[in-house]
Amino acid sequence: MIGESRAIPEGGGAMSVAEIERGLARLRANDDGTLGARASVLNLIVVTDEESAEGVARIINELSGRYPSRALVMIADPEEGRTNLEIGLSVFCNTRGGAGTNVCAEVVTIHVEGPPAEHLESLAGPLLIPDLPVFLWYPNGDIPASPRCDGMAALAGRIVLDTGAVEDTEGSLRAVAELVSYEETPAVGDLQWAALSTWRSLVADLFAPPERACELGKIRRVEVQYAPDARSRALLFSGWLSSCLGWRPESASRAENGGRELVFSGPSGPVTVRLTPNESDAALRRVRIFCDDEYTFEVSRSRESTDARSAVLRGDEVVGERTVHLGPSDTGALLGEELRLVGRDEVYEAALRRAVEILGR
């Protein structure tokens, strides 16, 4: 992607909505006096902190090619006693369109301290482009309260969270499950769930041929190896398998290595899911599914490669295998997948509920 970033740095103090709009339009103007067209498919509000702001800005620029948007980056510090508002504007203009035409995406960065930081919706609301969907992203693991209590959540059509961004993964999953239980909550997405799409697709592919589909009913044991900071993915993966395959949660126990052993009651007997942390670069390292006949299904990722290998084994004999690209799984790519969707993700919600349910046993 070819593009250039243009900015009016922060420090202008408080600006009115009209001044911000004029400022953005000025930034879109090219040297020759022509105006870069503004292409927008969505509004993206990001609630973040000082340390993450730079990374967030980079991700927004990267995503502007696929999801040209108006992004509002809110950096709030309500603890600060004195009210302070700083606004910075930037546009990222892509020039691939040819014919010398720019198409620009816009970023408004709002630093807010003191009491207004408790009312971010009053700043974000007037800056949204009308008639376009609103996505609200919390990159740092924060989880909003119900929209009834949180004005920002009430602005959004979809809230994007990250249950893997905090130490207390299980608490985070519980809080998200509570959030989605409110009727007025908009659609909720989770970057940890987005990261599972490829793995879920690879596992589903293993059982796609009709003669293997019947093995789904014969699963006895599942092993998931994950990096310690990817516990949320491992739990959501287990929740997904069990909710899709109709396994009832029975018990959960902690293993010595910090992992978990989950027991479900499946259609043909108990199913054990063992989650094992593994020092690995790969968030998910391996999923193995053992059936009560001789079949084993496996998806694994090697340490150094971004490829994944799927295999079907009968006893020790490999009867099918393939290697594929896992695709990018950086935060930008995962956020991109979330921005693709509108409406509630019922499969996620079912997996989340099941994961929380088994943790409570």
Partner 1 sequence: MAQTQITPEALRDDRRLPKAPEPGAMVIFGASGDLTRRKLIPALYDLAAQRRLPMEFAVVGLSRSPMSHEEFRDRLRDALEEQRDGGVSDDVWESFSKGIFYLAGDSRKPETYEELRGFLGELDEERGTQGNRMFYLSSSPSLFPTIVERLGEAGMNQGEGGGYARIVIEKPFGRDLMSARELNAGIQRYFEERQIYRIDHYLGKETVQNILALRFANGIFEPIWNQHYVDHVQITVAEDIGVGTRGAFYEEAGALRDIVQNHLMQVLCLTAMEPPVAFDAESVREEKVKVLRAVRRMDDGEVERSAVRGQYERGWVWGEEVPGYREEEDVDPSSTTETFVALRLFVDNWRWAGVPFYVRAGKRMPKKATEIAVQFHAAPHTPFSRNGTEGLEPNVLVIRVQPDEGVSLKIGAKVPGSGFEVRSVNMDLLYGSAFLEEAPDAYQRLLLDLMLGDPTLFIRADETEGAWSILEPVMKHWSESGEIPFYPAGTWGPEEADELPERDGRGWRRP
Name the residues that contact partner 1, by CB under 8 A.
1, 37, 39, 41, 64-66, 68, 94, 96-99, 101, 103, 197-198, 200-210, 213-214, 216-218, 241, 244-246, 267-269, 305, 307, 309-310, 312, 319-325, 327, 337, 341, 345, 347
Residue 218: both structure tokens together:
């014969």
Q: Whole-angstrom Cα distance, residue 71 to residue 134?
A: 10
Q: Which lies closer to partner 1 via its Cβ, residue 259 or residue 336?
A: 336
Alpha-carbon radius of gyration of the chain: 23
Q: Which lies closer to partner 1 via its Cβ, residue 66 or residue 119?
A: 66
Cα angle 228, 233, 239; round to 5: 130
Residue 320: both structure tokens together:
């099918």
Residue 281: both structure tokens together:
């670069």
The distance of closest approach from Cβ of residue 258 to partner 1 in the complex, given in angstroms and rounded to an integer, is 28
β partners of residue 107: 71, 90
Q: Which lies closer to partner 1 via its Cβ, residue 101 or residue 140?
A: 101
Nearest to 307 by CA among 322, 320, 326, 321: 326
Q: Which lies closer to partner 1 via its Cβ, residue 42 or residue 153?
A: 42
β partners of residue 3: 94
The distance of closest approach from Cβ of residue 67 to partner 1 in the complex, given in angstroms and rounded to an integer, is 8
The distance of closest approach from Cβ of residue 235 to partner 1 in the complex, given in angstroms and rounded to an integer, is 18
The torsion defined by the Cα of 49, 50, 56 and 60, in degrees rounded to 10, comes to 100
The distance of closest approach from Cβ of residue 83 to partner 1 in the complex, given in angstroms and rounded to an integer, is 38
The distance of closest approach from Cβ of residue 253 to partner 1 in the complex, given in angstroms and rounded to an integer, is 25
Q: Whole-angstrom Cα distance, residue 325 to residue 300?
A: 12
Q: Which lies closer to partner 1 via its Cβ, residue 140 or residue 265?
A: 265
The distance of closest approach from Cβ of residue 216 to partner 1 in the complex, given in angstroms and rounded to an integer, is 5
Q: Whole-angstrom Cα distance, residue 100 to residue 52?
A: 34
The distance of closest approach from Cβ of residue 342 to partner 1 in the complex, given in angstroms and rounded to an integer, is 11
CB 334 within 8 A of CB 160: no
Q: Which lies closer to partner 1 via its Cβ, residue 56 or residue 93?
A: 93
Q: Which lies closer to partner 1 via its Cβ, residue 11 or residue 100?
A: 100
Q: Whole-angstrom Cα distance, residue 351 to residue 357?
A: 10
Q: What are phi and psi of 176, to 5 degrees?
A: -70, -40
CB 262 within 8 A of CB 358: yes
Q: What are phi and psi of 47, to 5 degrees?
A: -105, 110
The distance of closest approach from Cβ of residue 288 to partner 1 in the complex, given in angstroms and rounded to an integer, is 16
Q: Which lies closer to partner 1 via its Cβ, residue 17 or residue 319?
A: 319
